[in-house]
Amino acid sequence: MSDIETIDAETALKWRLILGKHSEKNLKTEDAIKSLKNEKMGKETPTKAHAKQQVAKQKKGGKAMKKEGKKAKVGGKLTPQRDTTPSIPSEDLNQEIMNSMDQSLSFLYDRPDDEEKQEGGRYSAGLSVPAWINKVKTLFPKEAVEVIQKDAVEKYKITALVTDPEVLKNVEKNMDLLRAILRYKDLMSPQVRIIAKQIVRDIVEQIKKKIMWDVYRTMVGELNRQKHSPIKNYKNVDWKRTLFKNIKNYDPETENITLEKIFFWARERKRSDWRIIVDVDQSGSMLDSTIYSAILASIFASLPSLKTNLILFDTRFVDMTEYLNDVVEALMAVKLGGGTNIAGSLDYCQQFITNPKKTILVLISDFYEGGGYNKFYNKIKELKEAQVKVIGICALGYGGQPAYDRNCATKLATMGVPVGAYTPKKLAEHIVDLIKGDTTT
Threshold 0.75, pTM exceeds: no
**Predicted local distance difference test score (pLDDT) of residue 174:** 87
Q: Is the separation of the CB atoms in 170 and 131 below 8 Å?
A: no
Hey, which CATH number is domain 274-436, 3.40.50.410, 1.10.10.10, 3.40.50.1370, 3.30.70.20?
3.40.50.410
pLDDT at 151 over 50: yes
Query: Helix, strand, coil proportions of the chain in percent (round to 5)?
Result: 55, 15, 30
Q: Is the separation of the CB atoms in 425 and 386 below 8 Å?
A: no
DSSP 186: G
Rounded Cα gap, residues 138 and 36, in angstroms: 10
* Stronger pLDDT, 380 or 127, i.e. the higher one: 380
* Stronger pLDDT, 258 or 396, i.e. the higher one: 396
* Stronger pLDDT, 315 or 227, i.e. the higher one: 315
pLDDT at 226 over 60: no
**Parallel, antiparallel, or unpaired for β 256-257 and 359-364?**
unpaired
Rounded Cα gap, residues 355 and 117, in angstroms: 55
pLDDT band at 323 (very low <50, low <70, confident <90, very high): very high
Percent of the chain with pLDDT over 90: 30
**Predicted local distance difference test score (pLDDT) of residue 272:** 52
Helix (DSSP H) and strand (DSSP E) numbers for the chain: 17, 12
Nearest residue to 345 via CA among 282, 279, 398: 279
Q: Residue 275 CB: number of other CB atoms within 10 A? A: 18
- Measured in degrees and rounded to the nearest 5, phi and psi for residue 335 equal -115, 100
**Predicted local distance difference test score (pLDDT) of residue 422:** 94
Phi-psi region of 366 (alpha: psi -120 to 50; beta: other; left: phi over 0): alpha
**Mean pLDDT of all residues belonging to the chain:** 74
Q: Is the separation of the CB atoms in 98 and 8 below 8 Å?
A: yes
**Predicted local distance difference test score (pLDDT) of residue 40:** 45
Rounded Cα gap, residues 354 and 358, in angstroms: 9
The per-residue pLDDT for range 265-275, each reduced to its tens digit, is: 655 544 457 99
The per-residue pLDDT for range 302-317, each reduced to its tens digit, is: 887 789 999 999 989 9
Summarize the confidence of residues 322-337 as an average pLDDT.
88
Summarize the confidence of residues 89-117 as an average pLDDT.
66
Q: Is the separation of the CB atoms in 4 and 29 below 8 Å?
A: yes
pLDDT band at 55 (very low <50, low <70, confident <90, very high): very low
* Stronger pLDDT, 149 or 57, i.e. the higher one: 149
Highest mean pLDDT of the ranges 40-49, 58-67, 274-283, 336-345: 274-283
pLDDT at 2 over 60: no
Nearest residue to 136 via CA among 122, 152, 120, 121: 152
CA 274 to mean position of chain CA atoms: 30
SS (H, E, C) 80-117: EECCCCCCCEHHHHHHHHHHHHHHHHHHHHCCCHHHCC
Determine the straight-line distance between the first and last CA of the chain, rounded to whole angstroms: 66
Q: Is the separation of the CB atoms in 361 and 309 below 8 Å?
A: no
pLDDT at 338 over 90: no
- Measured in degrees and rounded to the nearest 5, phi and psi for residue 47 equal -70, 165
* Stronger pLDDT, 153 or 405, i.e. the higher one: 405
Supply the angle between the helices 90-109 and 48-61 in degrees, to the nearest 10.
110
Distances (CA, A) of 421 to 213, 289, 290, 384, 398: 20, 10, 13, 21, 9
What ranges do the domains of the chain cover? 9-46+85-172, 223-267, 274-436
